[in-house]
């Protein structure tokens, strides 16, 4: 198969759409899409969009599998078959109780403030589910777009053109945002997703017409360093998974095999959440499970993650963009002294140029920041949503 044109080479039409549909402020009279006011405790179908009000119930939180409570007065909005209807990526919208909007109905009101949450390699949008509900509870005017990146989760069945890179993954998300007619104020990416968020800023036209705050969680803009003994090794994990059969009899079979290969119990159990039952529960002779990701594509994505260098966008931040790096206190191998020094130098330079770069440290956390210390991460990220909510109130 012939390789696609590099993602940076956007068509004139797409560049115009990105400017008009994503980054430019709404003009009076512009038509956007919104939902009818919803009734409490009911499922409401609005065209192709279903909105659900959640009662409190226990949900798993990968990779640690702790039980967290889904908070009341939040909702998840998604098409019944997200892959078919978007043709781009599978997604969910977690909306605060004050959000009265969806992308499938036209109303002459602006879209609510939106944050995009991006997972890492071998993850899925479910990694952010409990955390997004908590944010929506605290900030009820906001909505949170959770995306399954290409080759992952429900997006794995949506055929995407090669190459499978950080840049092409970022372009997928930009296309989805255009299709949903959203104007994101905040981009949050964990690990691989952090580089995707930076690439989204790099590919969009500069300067940005509206402020955008980017959070890169436990990832640097450049070199990816392998872990030491007892730490995670994603490339080796991907290769181990590729050697396994496409179907297995149980999730425990995978967990046991990975532990035998010296991967931690937490990582093994988290990876097993990517297995989906492929035969009926009571079928004979036994049930089976299959993977919900494209491992060949993911392997290519991880190589791109290792090779992609986005220091340029950090050291030349567009006006109106604020980039926040969050270092997990126990995630030592990812952060060299030269990375930290370079980020601090970019902080000073950005302040002089009308942009922003900032470094944060999350205490008592390893790489899985939203599982290791969700309370600490929530406190740090909350400052962004308070600032943006205040700015929006002043503009109105």
pLDDT digits (tens, 9 = 90+) for 234-250: 888 999 999 998 889 89
pLDDT at 30 over 80: no
pLDDT band of 35, cuts 50, 70, 90: very low
Among 251, 283, 301, which residue terminates a domain? 301
Q: What confidence score (pLDDT) does residue 183 get?
A: 86
DSSP assignments along 337-357, one per residue:
HHHHHHHHHHHHHHHHHT-EE
Same domain, 150 and 206: yes
- Identify the residue whose tokens are 């560049």: 15
Same domain, 147 and 280: no
Inside any domain, residue 144: yes
Inside any domain, residue 6: no
Inside any domain, residue 1: no
Same domain, 242 and 369: no
Helix (H, G, I), strand (E, B) or coil at 150: coil
pLDDT digits (tens, 9 = 90+) for 102-119: 766 655 677 889 999 999
Among 250, 267, 301, which residue terminates a domain? 301
Same domain, 362 and 264: no
Q: What confidence score (pLDDT) does residue 361 get?
A: 95
Domain that holds residue 44: 12-223+308-395
Phi/psi at 101 (nearest 5 deg)?
Answer: -160, 145
Inside any domain, residue 26: yes
Inside any domain, residue 51: yes
Same domain, 249 and 206: no
- DSSP lists the bridge partners of residue 186 as 115, 213
Peptide bond preceding 187 in cis form (omega within 30 of 0): no
- DSSP lists the bridge partners of residue 322 as 213, 356
Helix/strand/coil percentages in the chain, nearest 5: 40, 20, 40
Who's near 386: CB < 8 A, 6+ residues apart?
A: 139
Same domain, 206 and 262: no
Q: Could you tell me which of 124, 174, 120, 177 has the C-alpha nearest to residue 147?
A: 124
Helix (H, G, I), strand (E, B) or coil at 152: coil
- Domain total in the chain: 2
Same domain, 182 and 319: yes
For the record, the structure tokens of 286 come out as 């036994």
320: burial class by Cβ within 10 Å (0-12, 13-18, 19+)?
A: middle
Inside any domain, residue 3: no
pLDDT at 10 over 60: no
Asked if 329 and 362 touch (Cβ cutoff 8 Å), the reply is yes
Among 266, 301, 336, which residue terminates a domain? 301
Q: Could you tell me which of 53, 58, 95 has the C-alpha nearest to residue 72?
A: 53
Same domain, 60 and 167: yes
Between 58-62, 133-137, 171-175, 238-242, the lowest mean confidence (pLDDT) is in: 58-62
- CATH at 35: 3.40.50.1820
Between 13-22, 53-62, 199-208, the lowest mean confidence (pLDDT) is in: 53-62
pLDDT digits (tens, 9 = 90+) for 339-389: 999 999 999 888 766 679 999 999 999 888 988 899 999 999 998 998 877
Inside any domain, residue 201: yes
Inside any domain, residue 21: yes
pLDDT at 69 over 60: no
Q: What is the dihedral of CA 23, 25, 28, 31, to 10 degrees?
A: 30
Same domain, 240 and 378: no
Between 16-25, 210-219, 256-265, the lowest mean confidence (pLDDT) is in: 16-25
Same domain, 187 and 332: yes
Pairing of the two strands 74-78 and 49-53: antiparallel
Q: What confidence score (pLDDT) does residue 36 get?
A: 31
Residue spans of alpha helices (H) in the chain: 12-17, 82-86, 129-138, 166-180, 192-203, 234-243, 251-260, 265-272, 295-307, 311-315, 337-353, 369-372, 374-395
pLDDT digits (tens, 9 = 90+) for 274-305: 898 875 555 545 568 988 899 999 999 999 99
Same domain, 258 and 352: no
Same domain, 211 and 274: no
């Amino acid at each position: 198969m012939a390789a696609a044109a590099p993602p940076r080479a956007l068509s004139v039409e797409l560049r115009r759409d990105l400017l008009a549909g994503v980054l430019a402020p709404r003009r009076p009279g512009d038509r956007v899409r919104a939902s009818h006011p919803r009734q409490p405790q009911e499922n409401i179908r609005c065209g192709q969009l279903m909105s659900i009000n959640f009662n409190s119930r226990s949900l798993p939180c990968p990779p640690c599998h702790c039980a967290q409570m889904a908070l009341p007065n939040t909702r998840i909005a998604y098409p019944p078959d997200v892959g078919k209807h978007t043709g781009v990526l599978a997604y969910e919208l977690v909306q605060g109780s004050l959000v009265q909007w969806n992308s499938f109905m036209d109303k002459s009101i602006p879209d609510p403030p939106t944050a995009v949450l991006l997972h890492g390699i071998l993850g899925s949008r479910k990694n952010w589910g409990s955390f997004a509900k908590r944010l929506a509870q605290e900030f009820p005017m906001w909505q949170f777009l959770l995306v399954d990146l290409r080759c992952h989760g429900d997006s794995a069945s949506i055929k995407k053109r090669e190459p499978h890179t950080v840049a092409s993954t970022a372009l997928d998300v930009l296309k989805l945002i255009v299709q949903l007619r959203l104007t994101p104020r905040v981009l949050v990416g964990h690990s691989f997703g952090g580089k995707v968020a930076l690439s989204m800023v790099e590919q969009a036209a500069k300067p940005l017409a509206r402020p955008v705050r980017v959070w890169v969680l436990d990832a640097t803009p450049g070199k990816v360093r392998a872990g030491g003994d007892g730490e995670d090794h994603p490339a080796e994990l991907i290769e181990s998974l590729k050697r396994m059969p496409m179907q297995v009899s149980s999730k425990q079979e995978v967990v046991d095999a990975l532990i035998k290969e010296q991967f931690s119990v937490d990582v093994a159990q988290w990876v097993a959440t990517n297995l989906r039952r492929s035969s009926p529960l009571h079928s004979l002779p036994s049930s089976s499970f299959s993977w919900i990701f494209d491992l060949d594509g993911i392997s290519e994505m991880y190589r791109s993650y290792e090779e992609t260098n986005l220091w340029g966008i950090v050291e030349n931040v567009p006006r109106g963009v604020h980039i926040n790096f969050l270092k997990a206190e126990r995630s030592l191998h990812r952060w060299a002294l030269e990375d930290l020094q370079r980020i601090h130098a970019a902080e000073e330079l950005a302040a002089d140029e009308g942009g922003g770069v900032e470094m944060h440290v999350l205490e008592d956390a390893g790489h899985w920041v939203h599982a290791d210390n969700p309370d600490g991460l929530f406190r740090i990220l909350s400052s962004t949503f308070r600032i943006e909510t205040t700015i929006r109130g002043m503009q109105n």
